[in-house]
Amino acid sequence: MTSSELWTRAAAERYDAEEVEMSSAAVLEPTLAFLADLAGDGRALEFAVGTGRVGVPLRGRGVPVVGIELSEHMAAVLRRKVDADSLPVVIGDMATTVVPGGFTLVYLVYNTITNLLTQDEQVECFRNAARHLVPGGRFVVELGVPPLRFLPPGQVAVPFDVSEHHLGFDTFDLVEQVLVSHHLTRDGDDGRYRRGASRHRYAWPAELDLMARIAGLELERRVADWHGTPFTQDSAKHISVWRKPT
């Protein structure tokens, strides 16, 4: 059993409409270029493929993509975009589910590794990536840096989006290393807001490096975004690439 919270049918049906910005060319083009370059002439495996925001256009670039997805409802939305022969999807969790064949690239985008709510499961996710990689293959994770420096004494919440249609903030349990993302989303034009929340286990870059070493992977590169901007102490997120030794 996985600790990940499961996307419902209603949430899956809303997902693409609520992530229009993340599906824009400005966001996707550098992401796809980065991943396609690492995949080379091989196959790519996306953990938590969701509705195919990245996997479908990456497949459109000529990279054979296979997905693992925990939510059947999210996979059903993806299936409306592309058939099973073009982009196979296996229903299961990203820590233990195994698909046939080897891959030059396994990737996890948009903070999805934090859906695994225990350190043990996150370690197993790295092991699962290594299990699928051919020698010389890469595992890529996109993850935000925990914004704990913005927490003054006594404060437990940090806002991450304050816009006309959405209010988002994270609350932190520093003992359990878990954050809860709270969302207030405008639902229609009548002024009502829909409230939602999801739990995540945050992790630091150095902790992920240890997970990678446990899995037999070596850090190859860490940058601040898909454009390759250098990663610094001020970076809000990182794109990390670990390589399976040849």
> All domains of the chain, ordered by start, with CATH?
9-145+204-243 (3.40.50.150), 148-198 (no CATH)
pLDDT at 19 over 90: no
Rounded-to-integer distance, Cα 143 and Cα 203, Å? 9
Residue 191 per-residue DSSP state:
S
Angle between helices 72-79 and 9-18 (to 10 degrees): 50
Rounded average pLDDT over 56-72: 96
Helix segments in the chain, DSSP class H = 9-18, 25-39, 55-60, 72-79, 119-132, 205-214
pLDDT at 1: 58
Identify the H or E element spanning 86.
none
pTM for this predicted structure: 0.92
Say which amino acid occupies 67.
Answer: G
pLDDT at 3: 74
